[in-house]
Copies of this chain bind each other. A is one copy, B any other.
Amino acid sequence: MPATSSRISLIRASPIRRIATLLDEARRRGDIISFGGGAPSIPPPRELIDNLTILLKEITTKVVGYCGTRGLPELRELIAEDLKKYWGATYDPSKEIIITDGGTEGIFLALSSILERGDEVILVDPTYLGYSEAVKMLGGRIRTILTNVEKGYQPDLEELKEAISPLTKAFILLSPDNPTGRVIDEDFVKGLVDLASDHDFWIIYDAAYKHITFDRPNPWVDNYSNARERTITINTFSKEASLPGFRLGYSTGPPEVIEAMEKVKQYVSLAPSTVGQYALLKFYENGIKDRYLKEVVIPTYKRRRDLMYELIKKYLPEAKTVLPQGAFYFFVDIRHYLEAMGRDDEEFVNRLLYRKNVVVIPGSHFGDMGKGHIRMTFVSEPESRIEEGVKRMGAFVFSYTV
């Protein structure tokens, strides 16, 4: 076999995939409760699926045919109207919006469009594990600014200032955040935009969970002055429409960047899936999206969040966490228990799965600051199972600490 690329050794396989393999094995043994991957368990709006089945019968060839690389113009127009409605921001659907194969492709295309080899990208630690690997694959370097539970996982402007160098090409902001559920403070956004202006770097604003907030709305970075010309937003239908298997999302940005992203996409995936886009046209009709968010998504996740919070306090009393303001994750500092057990977070996760059939994600996968933590999602299991799962975790740590 000839050699594979050194690019491959720069990146690590997603550790969540390793968990998935463990999970497959564990499933054979029986009853697994998953607080692991962020895959919605609530169905998408019924109207979308019904409409898709009608379209598949009526205009099959169109629904399964190619579309342009930027995606269906009618979907981009609806997205522009929606962004106007929710955030008051105006986008030209033909120049400033591109449909992507989920948020993951949005991030890859955005980074491909701006990064030179050796450029630095500043990330918050802890953060979503996909960013650093995409940056490294494209020849970029990572700098991090640290947050922790005491700061409510808010990053610090002074630390950001210190991390900026002449090589800084971008800062990636995820809000609401994965793994911490933190909604970013407006002051930080304001300061970030000023620094990005002064030092001429990009803001990649990952708004994957933008609609999933429980206590206060999420700021829209493009609404801050001077932000538009240096911000690329990343959006996905995986979370707000509960349609991860459609692999669809969208990005906004200055026309030059959207054009660059389109150019890259032509040779990465040619075009987004047409079939899912046709289903999504219905998402923006007759207040379906509004109702789905207000009546299904937010109340369901809020109930689960509040419940999981109470359960963590009750069954894992020595763990430290904050009530997530958005997204659907608790990031839990379990160092007290790990010390008693003499184990690290990865070993904790493996043993918990083996002994109690409960899946959580090791915090160290999200950065150095995540060591001694676990991520627990409440997106996949209904309330009764959340209760059962946290109880099992309580019994698990109890067996080590008495």
B269 close to A105 (CB less than 8 A): yes
> A17-B68, A267-B134 are contacts. A8–B113 as well, Cβ < 8 Å?
yes
Nearest chain B CB to A17's CB is how many angstroms away? 7
* A148, CB-defined interface residue at 8 Å: no
B114 close to A67 (CB less than 8 A): no
B269 close to A68 (CB less than 8 A): no
* A384, CB-defined interface residue at 8 Å: no
Partner of A267, one of B108, B242, B244, B269: B108
B17 close to A43 (CB less than 8 A): no
User: Hey, which chain B residues are within 8 Å of A105, CB to CB?
Assistant: 268-270
* A362, CB-defined interface residue at 8 Å: no
Which A246-266 residues have a C-beta within 8 angstroms of B? 246-247, 254, 256-257, 259-260, 262-264, 266
Q: How distant is the Cα of A114 from the Cα of B256 in the complex, in angstroms?
A: 30
Binary CB contact string for chain A from 133 to 154 against chain B (1 if under 8 A, 0 otherwise) = 1100100000000000000000
Which of A51-59, A84-92, A180-188, A386-394 participates in binding chain B?
A51-59
Total copies of the chain: 2
> A130-B267, A269-B269, A270-B102 are contacts. A115–B244 as well, Cβ < 8 Å?
no
B5 close to A116 (CB less than 8 A): yes
Nearest chain B CB to A132's CB is how many angstroms away? 9
User: Hey, which chain B residues are within 8 Å of A66, CB to CB?
Assistant: 37, 39, 238, 244-245
User: Hey, which chain B residues are within 8 Å of A259, CB to CB?
Assistant: 13
User: Hey, which chain B residues are within 8 Å of A60, CB to CB?
Assistant: 43-44, 49
Which A35-72 residues have a C-beta within 8 angstroms of B? 37, 39-44, 49, 52-53, 56-57, 60-61, 63-69
B17 close to A266 (CB less than 8 A): yes
Q: How distant is the Cα of A136 from the Cα of B332 in the complex, in angstroms?
A: 44
* A372, CB-defined interface residue at 8 Å: no
Q: How distant is the Cα of A337 from the Cα of B114 in the complex, in angstroms?
A: 44
Q: How distant is the Cα of A64 from the Cα of B237 in the complex, in angstroms?
A: 11
B201 close to A257 (CB less than 8 A): no
Nearest chain B CB to A297's CB is how many angstroms away? 14
B6 close to A116 (CB less than 8 A): yes
Q: How distant is the Cα of A102 from the Cα of B268 in the complex, in angstroms?
A: 10
Most B CB within 10 A of own CB, among A114, A133, A247, A257: A247
B245 close to A67 (CB less than 8 A): yes
Which of A272-280, A308-316, A322-330, A343-351 participates in binding chain B?
A272-280
> A17-B68, A260-B5 are contacts. A268–B104 as well, Cβ < 8 Å?
yes
Q: How distant is the Cα of A202 from the Cα of B260 in the complex, in angstroms?
A: 30
A113 close to B4 (CB less than 8 A): yes
- Measured CB to CB, the nearest residue on chain B to A37 is B66
Which A213-244 residues have a C-beta within 8 angstroms of B? 229-230, 238, 242-244
Q: Which 4 A-B pairs have the closest CB atoms?
A: A245-B274, A104-B270, A53-B53, A64-B245
Sample of 9 further A-B pairs with CB below 8 A, known A17-B68, A17-B266, A64-B246: A2-B200, A4-B114, A4-B256, A7-B116, A8-B263, A11-B267, A41-B61, A64-B242, A102-B270
25 pairs from A and B in contact (CB 8 Å cutoff): A1-B229, A2-B202, A4-B113, A4-B257, A5-B113, A5-B114, A5-B115, A7-B112, A7-B113, A7-B116, A7-B264, A8-B264, A11-B263, A13-B266, A17-B69, A40-B65, A44-B64, A53-B56, A53-B57, A63-B245, A64-B246, A104-B269, A108-B267, A245-B275, A246-B275
